[in-house]
């Protein structure tokens, strides 16, 4: 395996442990959602996205919209690793009056957080709007949105997808964190076929394989928006969290933290 790929897995392990430590201090987190999405968020910022602390106010930068707000802690940790703020500031996560809340409020950040998260199905439509604005302005901006598979139970997602396909927004990429949650609520069938019918170019990848993630994010899609269906596992990186549903919304105590940190260290990453 290429050394840069090995390093990227090590970096994500480091970030998973940071997420655990921060969740422990804040006594709250959606760790299963964070861990399923973290590989995609990291590779996007590390390899592809033209957005940094230096160009964060440039209207022609790339935009990353986290529609899947439950994974906000993971985004916070990646942004800290990239220098948008210090890791130490995350010690206030989920504390009273902290800007580092469970769901991000963009008005409290000077770059890095492009939308305020919360209600399901609202981030992707905003990403479509940003992409449309980029086209109108003849801007080199690319827009990336990470959404949860469960968000497709919301009608706003399909309205936005219909508009993106109709407008041929080839500056838009939506990554679907497909961690098997959607079938529990409403089985939407063949997502690939549906999105293709809406005018998207679609590919499917292992959402924990860094090489596959980077290749997919670099796919050319002239005249069409791109949809990447990233097959992931909730709690990926910790056997305990992958096997126990209670970790969907729970922070580890001191004893659990020690166990989970060891699991992350010893976990074999690279595939689902």
pTM, 2 dp: 0.94
* Rounded-to-integer distance, Cα 235 and Cα 68, Å: 15
Give 202's contacts (C-beta < 8 A, 6+ positions apart): 192, 195, 196, 226, 227, 228, 229
In the chain, which ranges are E strands? 63-66, 143-148, 172-178, 201-206, 226-231
Q: For the domain 8-266, what is the CATH superfamily, name and number?
A: Thiamin diphosphate (ThDP)-binding fold, Pyr/PP domains (3.40.50.970)
Name the band, by pLDDT with cuts 50, 70 and 90, for residue 269.
confident
Q: Do 95 and 109 touch, CB atoms closer than 8 A?
A: no
* Rounded-to-integer distance, Cα 234 and Cα 36, Å: 5
To the nearest 10 degrees (0 to 180), the angle between helices 72-81 and 31-43 is: 40
For residue range 144-178, list pLDDT tens digits in order. 999 999 999 999 999 999 999 999 999 999 999 99
For residue range 213-234, list pLDDT tens digits in order. 999 999 999 999 999 999 999 9
The structural domains of the chain, with segments of one domain joined by +, span: 8-266
Name the band, by pLDDT with cuts 50, 70 and 90, for residue 185.
low
For residue range 55-76, list pLDDT tens digits in order. 999 999 999 999 999 999 999 9
DSSP string of 79-110, one letter each residue: HHHTTSS-GGGGGGTTSTT-S--SS--GGG-S
Report the pLDDT value the prediction gives residue 5, as an integer from 0 to 100: 55
* Rounded-to-integer distance, Cα 256 and Cα 259, Å: 5
Average pLDDT in the 203-220 region?
97
For residue range 8-62, list pLDDT tens digits in order. 999 999 999 999 999 999 999 999 999 999 999 999 999 999 999 999 999 999 9
What does DSSP say about strands 226-231 and 63-66: parallel, antiparallel, or unpaired? unpaired
* Rounded-to-integer distance, Cα 11 and Cα 200, Å: 32
Sign of dihedral through CA atoms 243, 231, 152, 108? positive
Give 113's contacts (C-beta < 8 A, 6+ positions apart): 75, 79, 104, 105, 106
Report the pLDDT value the prediction gives residue 6, as an integer from 0 to 100: 60
Name the band, by pLDDT with cuts 50, 70 and 90, for residue 244.
confident
List the structure tokens of 212. Answer: 């596959």
Name the band, by pLDDT with cuts 50, 70 and 90, for residue 237.
very high
Report the pLDDT value the prediction gives residue 245, as an integer from 0 to 100: 85
In this predicted structure, the answer to whether residue 91 has a pLDDT above a threshold of 60 is yes
Report the pLDDT value the prediction gives residue 217, as an integer from 0 to 100: 98
Per the prediction, the chain carries an average pLDDT of 93
Average pLDDT in the 80-89 region?
96
* Rounded-to-integer distance, Cα 179 and Cα 230, Å: 8
């Amino acid at each position: 395996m290429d050394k840069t790929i090995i390093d990227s897995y090590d970096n994500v392990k480091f970030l998973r442990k940071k997420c655990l430590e921060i969740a422990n201090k804040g006594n709250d987190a959606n760790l299963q959602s964070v861990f399923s999405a973290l590989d995609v968020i990291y590779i996007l910022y590390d390899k592809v996205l033209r957005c940094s602390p230096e160009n964060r106010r440039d209207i022609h930068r790339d935009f990353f919209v986290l529609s899947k707000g439950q994974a906000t802690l993971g985004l916070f940790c990646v942004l800290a690793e990239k220098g948008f703020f210090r890791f130490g500031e995350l010690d206030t996560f989920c504390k009273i009056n902290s800007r580092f809340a469970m769901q991000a409020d963009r008005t409290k950040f000077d770059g890095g957080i492009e939308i305020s998260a919360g209600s399901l199905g609202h981030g992707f439509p905003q990403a479509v709007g940003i992409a449309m604005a980029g086209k109108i302005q003849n801007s080199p901006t690319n827009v990336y949105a990470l959404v949860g598979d469960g968000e497709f139970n919301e009608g706003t997602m399909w309205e936005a997808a219909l508009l993106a396909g109709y407008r041929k927004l080839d500056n838009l990429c939506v990554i679907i964190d497909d961690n098997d949650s959607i079938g529990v609520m409403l089985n939407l069938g063949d997502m690939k076929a549906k999105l293709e019918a809406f005018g998207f170019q679609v590919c499917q990848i292992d959402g924990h394989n860094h090489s596959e993630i980077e290749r997919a994010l670099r796919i050319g899609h002239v005249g069409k928006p791109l949809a990447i269906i990233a097959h992931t596992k909730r709690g990926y990186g910790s056997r305990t969290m992958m096997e126990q549903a209670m970790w969907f919304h729970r922070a580890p105590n001191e004893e659990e933290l020690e166990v989970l940190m060891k699991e992350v260290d010893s976990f074999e990453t690279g595939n689902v």
